Amino acid sequence: MTDDVNKNSSPLLSVRDLTVSFRTAQGPVRVVRNLDFDVPRGGALGIVGESGSGKSMTSLSIMGLLPKGGTATGSVRFDGTELLGLAEREMRGVRGDRIAMIFQDPLSSLNPYYKVGTQIAEAYLSHRSGVSRKQARSVAIEAMERVHIRDAARRVDHYPHQFSGGMRQRIMIAMALSMEPDLIIADEPTTALDVTVQAQILDLLSEIRQETGAGLILITHDLAVVSEVTDEIVVMREGVAVERGQVEQVFSDPQADYTRRLLDAVPRIDDEIGLMRTTDILIPSERRSVR
Amino acid sequence: MTFSSTSLESEATPAGDSSLETTLESPPASGRRLFRAFVTDWGAMLSTAYILLIVLMAIFAPLLTMLSGWGPYQFDQSAIDPNLGAVPIGPFGGISAEHWFGVEPGSGRDIFARIAYGARVSMTVALSATLLTTVIGVVMGLLAGYFGGLIDLVISRVMEFLMAFPALIFMIAILSALPADNRVVLLVIVISLFGWPYLARIVRSQTLSLKEREFVEAAKASGASSGRIIFREILPNLQSTIIVMATLAVPGYIGTEAGLSFLGVGVVPPTPSWGQMIAAATPWYAVDPMYFVIPGVFLFLLVLSFTTLGDRIRTIATSGEARS
Amino acid sequence: MIRIAGSRLLGMIIVLFLVTLFTYAIFFLLSADPAVQICGKNCTPERIEQIRLNLGLDQPFWTQFWGYVGGLFTGRTFMVAGASVECAAPCLGYSFQTSQLVGDMIVQRLPITATIAIGAAVLWLLGGVVAGVLSAVKEGKFLDRFFAGLTLGSMSIPNYVLALALQFIFVVALGWLPFPQAVKFSDDPVQWFLNFILPWIVLAVGYAAVYTRLTRANVIDTLQENYVRTARAKGLQPGLVWRRHALRPALTPIVTIFGMDVAGLLGGAVITETVFGLNGVGKLTADSITANDQPVIMAVTLLSAFFVIVGNMVVDLLYTAIDPRVRTGASA
């Protein structure tokens, strides 16, 4: 019994001292430095930062998908198992099945030559032994229905280009869902989408979290997105975490200077008309958060 | 791509074409600093050296043959053995101090002299054809790409039409039907006729994308005429593309001329051409392999050099662009 | 889809027609006295007259041309030495020099051309793709650079030089292979293979080099694609990632190009056949040019163009079938 209690209170994902470096002609470059964070079971963490802050590399290193020349050191404990240094075979078992990832551009992230049903069912057929194509197909249809794609039984045989941008992202989510993962990592899931569709996708992510109890890591440069979906956020800058805490906390009382400037850069509807404060960083998003 | 493969059996495969198009999709930047990268690339330097050697040999052929002592049309009966079916006397096809590359069986002509003069034909035809196709290709590509509409429609259809022809067979057919004088000119014209669409196609697609760029819009807004825009704004950006394409066209044309001469529709004997020499060498290949090996090696190295050169230039041009 | 095929078909017919017209016009314009040329050597005044009559050479260009085109569709009759020769559709003309129907001459030679073309095609496709994939996988390493050098050399050597060199080495010096002759497969499969292997290699080498480079570039590009990343992120077996997400997208364009290349070769591999003395359509082309047998040259030219144009169209259609994006069209 004590074990159960421990299990439930220990974080789903625990990252300690994560450092990601790349071999370059100029020597090793560290794109992520000494990163620490936890994702509680069923919790949602947002990783926020500009391009180049290392947020994507963080997620890729969790998944063991770093591009050539990249190495990750430190510790990434997922449900008790150390992922860094795990044998590729075991890692494959984790990927897609226990941790699923959703990427930024759904059009290029889907293979144009195969039906979406095939691509959704792939993971299922790969990870579960002894299942038939028929079963896999119904899993795919079910997943599509869960992400509210209408007429799923027919559209499961369509190709990626036959869907709109928002729908394609839903398909990516369906792909992630189909295996009922414990953790979903969404890397800029809404960046390539229109504002209205963004909201839908974010709602969908929240809904799924509630239904399945899966954990979520949401990576974005968009503060508005983060504020809607996540409980906790980590603010990254040039590979280092500059701030961490509960979302409301960080937004209302940012500790780090950088965080403050990020927040200031977001135009608010109740801003005074006049000069906007200039910052030396990119304005992360022009989307207003209408509150 | 122009026939950059010497397998002239059919059309140049579009294979090479698409790879060139993708690497030069966005027109690369300027050419000044690339020069330095060029001179330090030993592939490029070696190729250039060999090419220069052949060019010099072609230009100074008369001088060289004066030095070697034998002209390309002189028969030396003493160098061949009539009892053995007119095979050259001595090993390696009769290589000696007299005849640096040996002699031709049957006629006893000095191979070195014929190689030197053959270089003239190869280089003249290839370079002229390259020049012609480049000029026509660039002009057509620019017109079609920049003006679009009806002009583009017409030019594109013509290009497709020409590219649909089985070029080799057509060239053979046309050349065989024409009288035998002015062969070199005819060769250049015929080769260019079928060669320019490949260059034009690439120039056109690059012009199309360049046309949309800001600096063109700016030029238009400031009232520049179409001519000005084309020549001052667009053309300079096509520099690298044109250079690469031209360099890669040359080996194809060398191969084409050699192939046509091999088939007997190129330059007329007794004018020497490397391809023709190899054709003549075919029946002798078993007893006097040198006769085909020597022109074969020269041809091979020349095509190799130009292809390598074009490759190196392209690599330098595209990596230069990436850096800038 | 049918509309696309229809317009392509129309385009193809137009191009074919223009090619026919262009070719015929060239011969018409370029020949000083066609009758004499067609007659060739060993000519007699009677023959010249016959030719003139048969081909209507006194008549205006368009009459002659339509006569020729008509022959392609409905056949023609020739009067030769007092007897009439039936030339069934498609009538490709009559060779007065050799006293044969051109169509017959070509049909006789097609099997050899086809053997050479298809054998070489298989070789270069397999060789090129395998080498290309290996080069891509081992990008930058020794194997890649080795293949890069090899392909460079292969592309640079003229066929006929390679043919002579290989012949010298393997037939004359080593004696491993016989001097290539047209052996029928049905007669002696082993000999057939040994005889054709050299022509196959010579023809395939240049293409293999291009295919290697193309495959390598395609595979490298495809491996960078986001959907490969997605496939890996789903924890799929490497084999599946390779086959479905890397190779299929990378190799599809190559298959279409392959179709066009083979089509081009059906008109005859002129140089390879000539060097090896194999009596295919290509050699027929070369021989008839030397002999100035105009009807044959005209026919072979047309045939070649026909194969290329049809091949292009087939490949275009194939592409619409293979690429789902083209096939189904985008919809929101």
The pLDDT of residue A248 = 86
Q: Do C70 and C137 have their domain in common?
A: no
Nearest to C19 among B18, B165, B177 (CB): B165
The pLDDT of residue B31 = 56
The pLDDT of residue C91 = 81
Whether the CB-CB separation of C61 and C34 falls below 8 Å is answered with: no
Q: What is the mean pLDDT of chain B?
A: 79
The pLDDT of residue B26 = 45
Number of CB pairs, chain A paired with chain C, less than 8 A apart: 84
Q: Do C254 and C325 have their domain in common?
A: yes
The pLDDT of residue B32 = 66
Query: Which residue, chain included where needed, has tokens 């292979």?
Result: C177
Chain C CB contacts of B307 below 8 Å: 152, 155-156
Whether the CB-CB separation of A112 and A151 falls below 8 Å is answered with: no
Closest CA to B190 of B258, B268, B245, B133: B133
Per-residue b or e along A47-63, where b marks 16 or more CB atoms closer than 10 Å to that residue's CB:
bbbbeebbbbbbbbbbb
The pLDDT of residue C19 = 81
Give me the sign of the Cα torsion angle C137, C141, C142, C145.
Answer: positive
How far apart, in whole angstroms, are the C-alpha atoms of residue A69 and residue A25?
11
Number of CB pairs, chain B paired with chain C, less than 8 A apart: 182
pLDDT confidence band for A291 (50 / 70 / 90): very low
Q: Which two tokens stand for residue C210?
A: 């291009």
Start-to-end C-alpha separation, chain B: 26
Closest CA to B268 of B121, B159, B59: B121
Measure in Å the smallest separation between the Cα of A200 and chain C Cα atoms. 17
How far apart, in whole angstroms, are the C-alpha atoms of residue B189 and residue B136?
12
Query: Which residue, chain included where needed, has tokens 């590979």?
Result: A239
* CA Rg value for chain A: 20
DSSP string, A210-263: HHH--EEEEEES-HHHHHHH-SEEEEEETTEEEEEEEHHHHHHS--SHHHHHHH
Longest Cα–Cα distance of chain A, Å, equals 66
The pLDDT of residue A270 = 63
Q: What is the mean pLDDT of chain A?
A: 84
Whether the CB-CB separation of C118 and C262 falls below 8 Å is answered with: yes
Q: Which two tokens stand for residue B83?
A: 């009892």
Query: Which residue, chain included where needed, has tokens 């290996």?
Result: C134
Q: Which residues of chain C have pLDDT under 70?
A: 1, 4-5, 30-34, 36-42, 55, 81-82, 328-332
Q: Do A63 and C237 touch (CB under 8 A)?
A: no
Nearest CA in chain C to A104: C226
Q: Which two tokens stand for residue C66?
A: 């339509």
Chains that touch B (3 or more CB pairs under 8 A): C
Q: Do C98 and C109 have their domain in common?
A: no
pLDDT confidence band for A118 (50 / 70 / 90): very high
Measure in Å the smallest separation between the Cα of A57 and chain C Cα atoms. 13
Counting CB pairs under 8 A, whether chains C and B reach 3 or more, is yes
Model confidence pLDDT, tens digit, residues B129-160? 999 999 999 999 988 888 888 888 888 888 88
Q: Do A109 and C249 touch (CB under 8 A)?
A: no
pLDDT at A3 over 70: no
Q: Do C15 and B161 touch (CB under 8 A)?
A: yes
Q: Cβ of C321 under 8 Å from any chain A Cβ? A: no
Chains that touch C (3 or more CB pairs under 8 A): A, B
Question: Among C45, C78, C102, where does a domain finish?
Answer: C102
Chain A CB contacts of C323 below 8 Å: 112-113
Nearest CA in chain B to C309: B164
Number of domains forming the structure of chain C: 2
Q: Do C271 and B259 touch (CB under 8 A)?
A: yes
The pLDDT of residue A269 = 64
SS3 content of chain A, % helix, strand, coil (to 5): 40, 25, 40
pLDDT at B315 over 90: no
Mean pLDDT across A154-165: 90
Topology adopted by domain B28-323: MetI-like fold (1.10.3720)
The pLDDT of residue C311 = 84
Q: Do C125 and C94 have their domain in common?
A: no
Q: Cβ of C224 under 8 Å from any chain A Cβ? A: no
Nearest to A109 among C230, C237, C324 (CB): C230
Q: Which two tokens stand for residue C112?
A: 């050899």
Measure in Å the smallest separation between the Cα of C223 and chain A Cα atoms. 11
Counting CB pairs under 8 A, whether chains B and A reach 3 or more, is no
Whether the CB-CB separation of A120 and A171 falls below 8 Å is answered with: yes
pLDDT at A59 over 80: yes
Pairing of strands A215-220, A44-48: parallel
Q: Cβ of C243 under 8 Å from any chain A Cβ? A: no
The pLDDT of residue C117 = 93
In terms of residue numbers, what domain contains C38? 2-102
Nearest to C249 among A94, A113, A126 (CB): A113
Interface-testing mutation among C220, C224, C234, C240, with chain A (most A C-beta atoms within 10 A): C234
**Amino acid letter, B140:** M
How far apart, in whole angstroms, are the C-alpha atoms of residue C55 and residue C71?
11
Q: Do C293 and C304 have their domain in common?
A: yes
How far apart, in whole angstroms, are the C-alpha atoms of residue B24 and residue B97?
50
Q: How many residues does chain B have?
A: 324
Whether the CB-CB separation of B17 and C217 falls below 8 Å is answered with: no
Query: Which residue, chain included where needed, has tokens 């679009």?
Result: B148
Contacts of C173 (CB under 8 A, 6+ apart): none
pLDDT at A209 over 50: yes
Q: Which two tokens stand for residue A6?
A: 């421990």
Measure in Å the smallest separation between the Cα of C230 and chain B Cα atoms. 24
How far apart, in whole angstroms, are the C-alpha atoms of residue C327 and residue A107?
17
Chain A CB contacts of C240 below 8 Å: 122, 126
In chain A, the percentage of residues whose pLDDT exceeds 70 is 88
Mean pLDDT across A15-24: 90
Chain B CB contacts of C164 below 8 Å: 278, 281-282, 285, 289, 292, 296
Q: Do C57 and C165 have their domain in common?
A: no
Q: How many Å separate Cα B70 from the centre of its chain?
A: 28
Q: Do C75 and C153 have their domain in common?
A: no
Q: Do C33 and C131 have their domain in common?
A: no
Q: Do C50 and C127 have their domain in common?
A: no
Question: Among C102, C132, C148, where does a domain finish?
Answer: C102
Model confidence pLDDT, tens digit, residues B73-130? 877 777 777 776 777 777 777 777 777 888 888 877 888 888 988 998 889 999 999 9
Q: Do C262 and C196 have their domain in common?
A: yes
Interface-testing mutation among C15, C257, C270, C306, with chain B (most B C-beta atoms within 10 A): C270
The pLDDT of residue A210 = 87
How far apart, in whole angstroms, are the C-alpha atoms of residue C203 and residue B8?
10
The pLDDT of residue A8 = 59
Q: Do C46 and C167 have their domain in common?
A: no
Closest CA to B8 of B225, B262, B234, B271: B262
Per-residue b or e along A130-149, where b marks 16 or more CB atoms closer than 10 Å to that residue's CB:
eeeeeebbbbbbebbebbeb
Question: Among C71, C102, C133, where does a domain finish?
Answer: C102
Contacts of B322 (CB under 8 A, 6+ apart): none
Query: Which residue, chain included where needed, has tokens 């250049």?
Result: B188
Closest CA to A167 of A197, A205, A189, A122: A197
Nearest CA in chain B to C262: B10
- Other beta carbons within 10 angstroms of residue C58's beta carbon come to 10
How far apart, in whole angstroms, are the C-alpha atoms of residue A92 and residue C233?
8
Q: Do C72 and C16 have their domain in common?
A: yes
For chain A, the residues whose C-beta falls within 8 A of a C-beta of chain C are 63, 65, 91-97, 100-101, 103, 105, 108-114, 122-123, 126-127, 158-159, 161-164, 172, 175
How far apart, in whole angstroms, are the C-alpha atoms of residue A177 and residue A164?
20
Start-to-end C-alpha separation, chain A: 44
Q: Do A96 and C237 touch (CB under 8 A)?
A: no
The pLDDT of residue C38 = 67
Nearest to A126 among C233, C240, C323 (CB): C240
pLDDT confidence band for A110 (50 / 70 / 90): very high
pTM of the model: 0.82
Q: Which two tokens stand for residue B172?
A: 């053979």
How far apart, in whole angstroms, are the C-alpha atoms of residue B218 and residue A286?
28
How far apart, in whole angstroms, are the C-alpha atoms of residue B88 and residue B189?
38
The pLDDT of residue C33 = 67
The pLDDT of residue B102 = 82
Counting CB pairs under 8 A, whether chains A and C reach 3 or more, is yes
Chain A CB contacts of C246 below 8 Å: none
Measure in Å the smallest separation between the Cα of C145 and chain B Cα atoms. 13
